[in-house]
C-alpha cells in the first residue's frame, strides 16, 4: 500500500512561483558578470540556465526539474561545467519514495520515509527559491535534505521595493551553512533575489533594491554577531595569569617550561618562571595551562573576510590576518566591529585591490585604465586605512610602476598577481614588494611563451610544466637569487595548489579530511576539493605538479626568500594545513611557527605590538595541546585563544556554528 508521501511524489505540479519566464542579473562586487534564465514548461517542468564569468572561471549550468504538490523535486538534471570548468553531469529522481542521485562526486540512493529535498551539487540559484517555497509548505517549515541534513525556514522581515508597489520578504534558511542563509521572495512567492556585497542574483527591476536588501540582511547578521561576541568572549575583570605553560619564543625558537604570563587589560605585563611571578593581584584570574604549549597568535596573510570567517579564525588560533581584496563598504564596517569587539574576529590589516577593465577583470569596483584613475584608487585606499595595494591580473603593465610609486609615497606596500603580459621579474622591477601565489613564480619561467594569465592558464600551464623547473636549473637559481636580492616577500598559498593539482573531486580538500566530518552536511559538500579536470595525456604532469612546487618552495626558503603563510581558502582550518605543508616541504616545524607569528609582524611593520609573547605587547596568545615544534600537526589542537586579553574557548565557538566537537586530538 502506497504511503501519502509516495502518492504526493507522483502528483507532479508546476512550481507556480516560476511560471513567468524571467532573466536574472548576476553581479559580482556590483559588476554585471552573468545571468540566470528561468522558465516553466507546459508540463510543469522548470528550466534554468545559469552562467557567469569570474576571471575566466565560473559555473555554466543548464538544469531542468519537476516538483510535486509539496514543492519537493522529484526529477532533476543538470549539465554544463562547474566554477573551475570541470564537466557537470548530475541526475536525481524520486519515485515511490525511492531517491537516487549521481554527480561528479556522489552516487547515492535512499528510501525517503518522509519528504526530503535534494540539494544539487551544482545548483543554479533558483533552486534555493524552490527550497524556500517547499519549506513554506512543509510542517513547521522544516524539511530533511538529501544527501544529508535538515533545513528550516523563518521569516526575517520585509521591505517595500523601489516605487512602493511590491513587498519583498526576507527568509532565513538554516541548515545550509555555518549560519542562516538569506533569500528574498516576492509577494507572489517568486524568487526576488539572493544578495550580498560580493555576489548577488536578482530578477529584473530589483537591481535598485539591492542596497536596501543588503542593509536589512546586515542588520540581522550584525545583531546575531554581537550576541555571539558577548556570549563567547570572556573578559577578565582584572589581572589574568597563565601558569605552568611551555612558552615558545619565535625569536630564538626556544621552548621554556614552567612559565607564567601576567596579562593586564589588553597587554602582557610580565613573563617569569612559575614561582617568580610576584606582580599579579590577589584576585587575579588564573588559567592553569597544565604544561600546554603557549605561543603567539597565528597569522593568516591571505583572506577575504565574509560571513563567519572571523569566528573560524579565532577558533583556530588566528589572531592577526590580512584581507587581500574585498568590497569597500561592508568589509570596512566588519573590521570596525572586530576591533570594537561586537563581532568575533582577528586584527585585520587591509590590502586594497586595483585591476584594469575587461571581461576577465577581477571582482572589484576599483578598476583603472588610466594613470589618473589608478592613482585616485591608490589615494582612496591610503585615505581609508589600508596598508597595502594589491595589483590584479588585468592591470595594464605600463600603469604598474605608477601605482607602485604612488603607493610607496603614501606609505603602502605593493603586491599582487603578476599582471598579464608581464613576468614576475618585471613586476618586481616595477616596484612590487610581494607576490601572491606560488604559481606566478612558476609562470615567470614560462614567460614569454605564456603571457595571458588572466584566465585559467595561470593554473593549467603550471600543472602542465611545473615539473620542468627544478631548483637545480640555472634559470630557477638565478630568479631565486633575484627575489632574495630584492627582498621580495612571497605569499605562496600552497594549499590552494594542492587542492587544484592533487585533490580528488570526490573527497574533501586536502588537509580537511579530519575536520570536514564535523561540519554541517552542506558545508561538507562545499569543501570537496574542486580539483582541476585532468586532460587525457596530462596525468603524469598533473601528478608531478604539486610535489615539484613543494621543492621550489623549499629552495626559496633555503635561499632566504621571506615567505608568509596565507590560505585564500577556508578560514582557520586551512592555515593549520598550510603550515603542515611547509613542514612537509622540509622546513623545521619551529621555523614554520616563526613564519606564522613573528615574520608577518615584521613584514607588515606591526612587530611593536605583535609576533612575540613579550612584556608590553598585545595579549594575543594561543594554548596548544601538544608540541608543534616537534609535530606540526599538533597546531590543530588549539585549546584556548586570547586576543587582547579576552579569552575564547574554541569548542564553544565551533558549537555556535554547528560544528561537532572533536572526539580526540
- Which cell numbers hold the place of 439? 604559481
Residue 2 has pLDDT above 60, yes or no: no
39 domain-assigned: yes
Average pLDDT of the residues of the chain: 94
At 478, the pLDDT band (50, 70, 90 cuts) reads very high
Domain C-terminal end among 214, 230, 246: 230
624 domain-assigned: no
| pLDDT reported for residue 19 | 57
> What is the spatial distance between Cα 282 and Cα 659, in angstroms, rounded to a whole number?
38
Task: Report the domain count for the chain.
Answer: 2
Residue 145 has pLDDT above 80, yes or no: yes
54 domain-assigned: yes
Q: Are strands 293-296 and 621-624 parallel, antiparallel or unpaired?
A: antiparallel
124 domain-assigned: yes
| pLDDT reported for residue 664 | 59
- Cis upstream peptide for 612 (omega within 30°): no
Domain C-terminal end among 587, 602, 632: 587
Residue 465 has pLDDT above 80, yes or no: yes
Q: What is the pLDDT of residues 94-140, one digit of tens each?
A: 999 999 999 999 999 999 889 999 999 999 999 999 999 999 999 99
Residue 434 has pLDDT above 70, yes or no: yes
**CA 214 and chain centroid, separation:** 20
Domain C-terminal end among 188, 211, 230: 230
Q: What is the pLDDT of residues 55-67, one digit of tens each?
A: 888 999 999 999 9
Asked if residue 591 lies in contact with residue 253, where contact means CB atoms within 8 angstroms, the answer is: yes
317 domain-assigned: no
> What is the mean predicted confidence (pLDDT) over 37-42?
96
> What is the mean predicted confidence (pLDDT) over 323-340?
95
| pLDDT reported for residue 174 | 96
280 domain-assigned: no
Q: Give the residue among 105, 142, 144, 99 at the shortest CA–CA distance from 122.
A: 105
Residue 60 three-state SS: strand
The partner residues of 56 in beta bridges, in order of sequence, read none
Residue 500 has pLDDT above 70, yes or no: yes
Q: Provide the residue range defining the domain that includes 527.
A: 417-587
Half-sphere exposure of 105 (CA within 13 A, CB side): 22
262 domain-assigned: no
Asked if residue 388 lies in contact with residue 321, where contact means CB atoms within 8 angstroms, the answer is: no
Q: What is the pLDDT of residues 243-257, one digit of tens each?
A: 999 999 999 999 999
76 domain-assigned: yes
Residue 4 has pLDDT above 90, yes or no: no
> What is the mean predicted confidence (pLDDT) over 642-650?
98
Q: What is the pLDDT of residues 290-304, one digit of tens each?
A: 999 999 999 999 999
Residue 540 has pLDDT above 80, yes or no: yes
How would you class 632 by CB atoms within 10 Å of its CB: exposed for 0-12, middle for 13-18, buried for 19 or more?
A: buried
Amino acid at each position: 500500500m502506497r504511503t501519502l508521501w509516495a502518492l504526493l511524489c507522483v502528483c507532479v505540479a508546476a512550481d507556480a512561483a516560476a511560471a513567468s519566464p524571467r532573466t536574472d542579473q548576476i553581479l559580482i562586487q556590483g559588476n554585471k558578470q552573468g545571468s540566470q534564465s528561468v522558465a516553466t514548461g507546459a508540463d510543469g517542468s522548470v528550466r534554468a540556465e545559469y552562467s557567469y564569468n569570474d576571471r575566466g572561471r565560473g559555473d555554466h549550468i543548464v538544469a531542468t526539474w519537476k516538483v510535486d504538490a509539496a514543492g519537493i523535486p522529484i526529477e532533476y538534471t543538470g549539465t554544463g561545467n562547474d566554477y573551475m570548468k570541470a564537466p557537470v553531469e548530475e541526475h536525481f529522481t524520486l519515485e515511490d519514495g525511492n531517491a537516487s542521485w549521481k554527480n561528479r562526486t556522489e552516487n547515492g540512493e535512499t528510501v525517503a520515509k518522509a519528504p526530503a529535498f535534494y540539494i544539487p551539487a551544482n545548483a543554479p540559484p533558483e533552486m534555493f527559491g524552490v527550497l524556500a517555497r517547499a519549506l513554506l509548505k512543509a510542517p513547521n517549515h522544516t524539511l530533511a535534505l538529501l544527501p544529508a541534513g535538515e533545513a528550516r525556514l523563518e521569516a526575517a522581515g520585509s521591505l517595500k521595493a523601489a516605487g512602493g508597489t511590491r513587498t519583498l520578504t526576507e527568509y532565513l534558511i538554516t541548515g545550509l551553512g555555518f549560519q542562516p542563509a538569506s533569500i528574498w521572495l516576492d509577494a507572489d512567492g517568486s524568487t526576488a533575489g539572493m544578495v550580498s556585497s560580493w555576489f548577488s542574483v536578482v530578477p529584473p527591476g530589483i537591481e535598485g533594491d539591492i542596497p536596501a536588501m543588503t542593509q536589512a540582511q546586515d542588520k540581522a547578521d550584525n545583531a546575531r554577531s554581537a550576541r555571539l561576541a558577548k556570549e563567547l568572549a570572556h573578559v577578565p575583570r582584572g589581572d589574568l595569569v597563565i601558569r605552568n605553560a611551555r612558552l615558545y619564543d619565535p625569536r630564538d625558537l626556544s621552548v621554556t617550561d614552567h612559565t607564567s604570563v601576567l596579562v593586564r587589560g589588553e597587554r602582557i605585563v610580565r613573563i617569569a618562571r612559575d614561582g617568580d611571578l610576584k606582580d599579579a593581584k590577589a584576585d587575579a584570574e588564573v588559567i592553569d595551562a597544565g604544561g600546554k604549549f603557549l605561543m603567539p597568535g597565528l597569522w593568516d596573510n591571505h583572506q577575504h573576510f565574509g560571513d563567519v570567517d572571523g569566528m573560524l579564525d579565532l577558533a583556530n588560533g588566528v589572531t592577526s590576518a590580512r584581507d587581500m581584496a574585498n568590497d569597500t563598504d561592508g568589509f570596512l564596517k566588519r573590521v570596525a566591529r572586530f576591533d570594537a569587539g561586537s563581532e568575533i574576529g582577528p586584527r585585520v590589516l587591509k590590502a586594497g585591490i586595483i585591476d584594469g577593465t575587461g571581461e576577465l577583470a577581477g571582482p572589484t569596483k576599483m578598476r583603472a585604465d588610466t594613470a589618473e584613475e589608478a592613482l585616485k584608487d591608490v589615494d582612496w585606499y591610503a585615505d581609508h586605512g589600508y596598508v597595502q595595494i594589491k595589483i590584479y591580473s588585468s592591470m595594464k603593465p605600463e600603469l604598474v610602476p605608477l601605482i607602485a610609486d604612488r603607493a610607496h609615497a603614501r606609505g603602502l606596500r605593493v603586491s599582487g598577481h603578476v599582471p598579464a603580459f608581464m613576468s614576475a621579474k618585471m613586476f618586481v622591477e616595477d616596484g612590487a614588494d610581494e607576490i601572491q601565489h606560488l604559481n606566478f613564480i612558476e609562470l615567470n619561467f614560462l614567460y614569454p611563451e605564456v603571457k595571458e594569465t588572466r584566465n585559467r592558464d595561470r593554473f593549467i600551464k603550471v600543472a602542465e610544466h611545473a615539473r620542468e623547473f627544478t631548483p637545480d636549473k640555472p634559470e630557477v637559481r638565478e630568479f631565486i637569487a633575484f627575489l632574495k636580492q630584492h627582498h621580495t616577500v612571497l605569499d605562496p598559498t600552497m594549499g590552494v595548489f594542492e587542492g587544484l593539482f592533487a585533490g580528488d573531486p570526490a573527497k574533501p580538500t586536502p588537509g580537511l579530511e579530519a575536520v570536514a566530518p564535523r561540519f554541517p552536511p552542506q558545508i561538507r559538500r562545499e569543501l570537496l576539493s574542486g580539483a582541476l579536470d585532468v586532460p587525457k595525456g596530462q596525468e603524469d604532469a598533473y601528478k608531478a605538479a604539486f610535489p615539484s612546487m613543494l621543492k621550489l618552495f623549499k629552495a626559496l626558503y633555503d635561499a632566504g626568500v621571506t615567505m608568509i603563510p596565507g590560505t585564500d581558502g577556508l578560514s582557520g582550518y586551512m592555515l593549520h594545513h598550510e603550515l603542515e605543508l611547509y613542514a612537509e616541504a622540509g622546513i623545521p616545524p619551529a621555523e614554520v611557527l616563526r613564519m606564522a607569528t613573528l615574520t608577518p609582524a615584521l613584514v607588515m611593520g606591526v612587530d611593536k605590538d605583535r609576533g612575540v609573547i613579550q612584556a608590553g605587547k598585545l595579549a594575543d596568545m594561543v594554548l596548544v595541546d601538544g608540541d608543534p615544534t616537534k609535530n606540526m600537526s599538533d597546531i590543530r589542537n588549539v585549546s584556548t585563544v586570547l586576543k587582547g586579553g579576552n579569552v575564547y574557548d574554541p569548542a564553544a565557538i565551533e558549537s555556535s556554528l554547528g560544528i561537532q566537537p572533536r572526539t580526540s586530538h
